[in-house]
Amino acid sequence: EPEVTQTPSHQVTQMGQEVILRCVPISNHLYFYWYRQILGQKVEFLVSFYNNEISEKSEIFDDQFSVERPDGSNFTLKIRSTKLEDSAMYFCASGLRQGNGYTFGSGTRLTVV
């Protein structure tokens, strides 16, 4: 079964540092997403990406965040200057069509110290 692959599985970073979280979506999927889940809380939408541009973003996705699809296969989330409250599990997801439910990757656990 096709998978969404995320690397690394766990990243520890110092406050103020930049991090890049990487994702390889399912190859024929057209819609790409980042979500996050703070420990013990619900899954929250960050951003959706289609046709090489952001289609929607949440209030959480401020100027510290950016996304990129640099080479047609990878999809990255960059956090420019991490804060303690950015510590969470970050999930990448991809989908073939809008509104059909998506496949999530296994996540990157980001710990900011």
Partner 1 sequence: RKEVEQDPGPFNVPEGATVAFNCTYSNSASQSFFWYRQDCRKEPKLLMSVYSSGNEDGRFTAQLNRASQYISLLIRDSKLSDSATYLCVVSHYNTDKLIFGTGTRLQVFP
* 48 scored as a contact of partner 1 (CB under 8 A): yes
Q: Which residues contact 74 (CB under 8 A, 6 or more apart)?
A: 22, 23, 24
Report which secondary-structure segment, H or E, holds 77: strand 75-79
Q: Kindly report the CA angle at 98 between 55 and 105, in degrees rounded to 5? A: 85
* 11 scored as a contact of partner 1 (CB under 8 A): no
Contact by Cβ (8 Å): 67, 59: no
Count of residues that bind partner 1 according to CB under 8 A: 25
Instruction: Supply the minimum distance, in Å, between the C-beta of residue 46 and partner 1.
Output: 10
Per-residue binder mask for partner 1 (CB under 8 A), 92-111, x = binder: ---x--xxxxxxxxxx----
Which one among 11, 13, 58, 76 touches partner 1, defined by CB under 8 A? Answer: 58
* 65 scored as a contact of partner 1 (CB under 8 A): no
